[in-house]
Chains A and B, each alone.
Chain A
């Protein structure tokens, strides 16, 4: 007890004895106090260490507890590697102070060397300051013995009480436990982190980074000194990633998976654990580094089969605890999910790459002609639009090239030769354009040249002629040399996207090309805007022509053919009329050639014939069964070998006899064997043929001899010339020669002679004659005088709709009845 306890002694000399005893008691008390104090400190610190917490919290707590139980002004966890000591965590520096270790006089290495040491400021030395506190006493306690580098506890005190050996031993014991506890806390935290963040492994879409992070987690969780990741593909094991402070698995990679000692376990989905792999005789150690004692391998499974192996190794036997291994297995589960994810992604990426290539190819195909490799229409249009929209000076030129008679070559030599020709043409055209110009194939035998910058029309013309020149030399197609020409249309456009666009220029160039073609093959026609516009209008109308029938814009009008003597209607001529939706009535002189150019005339002609036959049949039923119908036939229609047969079917379908229908052909018709055959066939079927506009073209008897013509129609110009100039008749086709009327000074003698000649020819050949364009009584009179008995013209009736013609017939009937009645009346 304390010196104050107890009372005095009654015996002589007892005071001394009491003093001694008291002294001994005091010493014993102090010793006990020391022991208890140390025990208490130790217990206190161990209690802190044993309280589960995150590593940083644990460090903070232990530093606080050390400061408290050792009255240390500053406490730190440092890392020292023999050269420097670095503070990891500290207490006592305050928030605004960057923790720095003091330089201890006479013990500079104390805090940098990872070894147990204590220090007291030597007499006469100025205590170094840390955090504003003079440091007079220090101790450094490594967490792990013997390692050249590592973490350690540092206690700094402002008093000069040296740390005793006992205190250092106690601190050493605390440090060792702290280390274990920290490792445990770190592992626990790693597992928690795994639970929290393991799924984030799936963010890695590449295998290596994924495995690197996975091994980092594995190392954190297990405390392994080496970790390795091996992937398995088709039974082949490949070492992919290694981390750690020491070398991992050894050997040559890749290697058969079945050679691995861990493989049988992996196949069963089990972790392979060897507490001391070096002392084990059960396994092959060929791939285990000599330093490694404790080894764990967890398989990463996909659908129950191992796709990867994660290895962890440590130099201490039995280092990995069971919970640690279980955590590693959990990690392997996360890795498996992430690996599958990465593989799926990479497969997707591969397919996307393929898709990109395919897309590029499709894009190339979409913009290029597969045969010649030239740009196609779309790309040409894009470039044209870009050129028109650019800020460059100058104009944009465009040439439209259409090969003449390509179809004939193609038909004659076959498609392969045709393709060969197109490729050769493309190559030659390519030599005609400058760098920066674009040559495109629009399809078929059409080529386009875009000249992004030209000075004017003359440049375009020059290029056009250059193209013609390039094509002048014959092409070798197989054994045959072929001559090919082109019709070329050129235009220029100003750079004003608001005014002109690619589509406009293309249309203009197309029109110019048609103009060139119309002027004859192998020509260049270059249009300015005005000319182009006219041509375009024509082309536009031509386009509309194709659909006029479908849009019900076409009608058949009927002009009566009368007996010139009594004006009795003997028949009608069916005349086609086009009432355009925008332009109104379009002249047949304009649209009939269009219909012939486009081939639409075949369908239209058939329709006209059918309508006319149907109408005639109706009139036959209602009025007069002797009425005939004349229908104009285009030379194009006659190209159809089945034309005669089709005509027959149409006539018969209407319930008519073939003799009641006249097919009128023009004198300009080129006489070919096919044409002659067709007409003879028609004649044999009973259909009669009339020669329209007779006297205007060939006018030779030989022509008539070859054709089975039974009627001649005197052209209106001759009729008009019989007396004087007639009025215009917009409904009548002008002659190709442009002879409209006899004109001043022509007199009527010449035309009268011609008409007389025609009548004579007809008579001699046994043909009937119809005079066209009779407009005056005088003309009728002259014609009658000349012996012409039938005619048509405004004098009698204009071409009219069927209803009007019906009325006309009805009126004629009424007049006839009246006349008959009158006659009867007179007779009576």
Chain B
């Protein structure tokens, strides 16, 4: 698999897109482009931006999303910083891109619709038999509702055998409007998926590096992404108590609006945790990016740059199954970036070091997807990867 990347910091959307795309295709080493992945700051006129890119990449399937920063190799851009383009070409994979709208109304239907359409879109005239393995890259509107339901829809179509990786779109921490890209279209309240047909099994990896710092508690009242009560008491009150009992860590490091030092961890069957980043409001309720059902058993989770950094090696190693992968697609959480503070590129450096032969390409998201076992696959404050 060949790949090329390009970035641009130009202020003009179309120019920026064009510049990044040209750079990406130039480094493709002559291979036929098969898939274009774009991460961009919401500061751009996104339609213009995509038009600029497609001036270069033409009808090559395009996908991606708005982000809270992104990286390609050691080029790391924080929020509000430009656009990054990855072009994949050649190789043994087949790609198909499709989107579906209506996440707010029926996220599961969005998942099933885009899953079916993406698989169909991957078929090319003259293709022999369908490739035996597959994975899906999924981008969703990060503020669009129930991310897990989209994953459930995808899972319903593909079943357990097709792992899913991806992320929920960000908007440079503005929390106003996020978008996903499908060819020339900029979509909100929507999700877009890339079907990847593969001659060999594809694995998604994930790790977070958070550790529990409290005894388990039960969420006794929640509604969607809002937790009202924990253990029968005010959720915010309990949260503060638990955090205070742990240490004197700042709750809002680096000016983040969400908790950078603590999160809630849903206890998993194997004893592990699904991380749910939280942000507090003065009124009291705890807000999450992903709904936590009532009666979920959670623990207060704590993290620091050190522990977060430690998991990078494991995630990369888990993703590089065959050793000949040339691209490492990574989905990192804006929460992790905030925890790292100004030193957030260190994580990318660590990633590059762990995957010296693969081009690392990723974005900072409002939620990371890694569905490998079971239906569940939405993470927060987590690093998820897929290597091609």
Residues of chain A at the chain B interface (Cβ within 8 Å): 1-2, 4-5, 29-30, 32-37, 39-41, 43-44, 47, 64, 67-74, 91-95, 97, 131-133, 157-159, 161
Contacts and interface: CB of A to CB of B under 8 A. Distances in A.
Interface in B239-282: 245-247, 267-271
B124 interface: no
Interface of B: 116, 152, 155-162, 211-218, 245-247, 267-271, 293-297, 299, 302, 373-376
B218 A71 contact: no
Contacts of B214: 1
Contact of B152 (A37, A43, A64): A64
Contact of A74 (B160, B247, B270): B160
B212 A43 contact: no
B159 A32 contact: no
B160 A1 contact: no
Contact of B269 (A4, A47, A133, A161): A161
B216 A36 contact: yes
Given A5-B246, A64-B152, A71-B374, A40 B160 contact: no
B299 A4 contact: no
B161 A133 contact: yes
Nearest to B157: A95
B216 A47 contact: no
B230 to A, nearest CB: 12
B155 to A, nearest CB: 7
Contacts of A161: 269-270
Contacts of B157: 94-95
B271 A33 contact: yes
A132 B295 contact: no
A824 B214 CA distance: 173
A28 to B, nearest CB: 8
A95 B162 CA distance: 12
Nearest to B115: A95
Contacts of B295: 40, 43-44, 47
B161 A159 contact: no
A547 B158 CA distance: 96
A769 to B, nearest CB: 126
A33 B267 contact: yes
A5 B245 CA distance: 9
Nearest to A65: B375
Contacts of B271: 30, 33-34, 37
A29 B269 CA distance: 15
Nearest to B112: A95
A40 B264 CA distance: 14
Nearest to A34: B271
Nearest to B295: A43
Secondary structure of the A contact surface, majority rule: mixed
B152 A71 contact: no
A37 B218 contact: no
Given A1-B213, A67-B374, A37 B160 contact: no
Contacts of A41: 269, 297
- Give the most central of B155, B212, B216: most A CB within 10 Å: B216
B133 to A, nearest CB: 8
Contacts of A97: 159, 161
Given A5-B246, A29-B215, A37 B269 contact: yes
A70 B269 contact: yes
Nearest to A131: B159
B51 to A, nearest CB: 35
B233 to A, nearest CB: 16
Nearest to A48: B293
B161 A4 contact: no
Nearest to A95: B157
A36 B267 contact: yes
Contacts of B158: 94-95
Contacts of A4: 211, 213, 302
A93 B299 CA distance: 32
Given A1-B245, A36-B216, A92 B155 contact: yes
Contacts of B156: 91, 94-95
Contacts of B376: 67-68, 71
B213 A5 contact: yes
Contact of B297 (A30, A39, A47, A132): A39
Contacts of B268: 37, 71
Q: What are the 5 A-B residue pairs with the smallest beta carbon separation, nearest first?
A: A94-B159, A40-B297, A132-B161, A36-B216, A43-B295
Given A2-B213, A69-B269, A71-B269, A159 B159 contact: no
Contacts of A39: 218, 297
Contacts of B161: 94, 97, 131-133
Given A37-B269, A94-B161, A132-B161, A44 B373 contact: no
B243 to A, nearest CB: 12
A100 to B, nearest CB: 12
Contacts of A70: 269, 374
Nearest to A36: B216
A64 B375 contact: yes
Contact of A40 (B152, B162, B245, B267): B267
B160 A158 contact: yes
Contacts of A1: 213-215, 245-246
Given A68-B375, A72-B374, A47 B293 contact: yes
Contacts of B293: 44, 47
Contacts of B162: 94
Given A2-B212, A36-B297, A92-B160, 12 more contacts: A4-B213, A4-B302, A30-B271, A33-B299, A37-B269, A43-B295, A64-B152, A68-B376, A71-B376, A74-B160, A95-B158, A97-B161
18 contacts: A4-B213, A4-B302, A29-B215, A35-B216, A37-B267, A37-B297, A39-B218, A41-B269, A43-B295, A70-B374, A72-B373, A73-B373, A91-B375, A92-B374, A94-B157, A94-B161, A95-B157, A132-B160
A537 B154 CA distance: 95
Nearest to B219: A40
A245 to B, nearest CB: 34
A64 B246 CA distance: 35
Contacts of A34: 271
A608 to B, nearest CB: 104
Contacts of A32: 215-216
B245 to A, nearest CB: 7
A44 B161 CA distance: 25
B269 A43 contact: no
Contacts of B247: 5
B387 to A, nearest CB: 19
A268 to B, nearest CB: 48
Contacts of B296: 40, 44
A67 B212 CA distance: 24
A479 to B, nearest CB: 102
A157 B373 contact: yes
Contacts of A131: 159-161
Contacts of B152: 64
B196 to A, nearest CB: 15
Contacts of A132: 159-161
Nearest to B213: A2
Contact of A159 (B294, B302, B373): B373
A32 to B, nearest CB: 5
Question: Which residue of B158, B160, B302, B375 has the most chain A CB atoms within 10 A of its CB atom?
Answer: B160
Nearest to A99: B159
Nearest to A37: B267
A94 B376 CA distance: 15
A133 B160 contact: yes
B5 to A, nearest CB: 32
Contacts of A158: 160, 373
Contacts of B267: 33, 36-37, 40
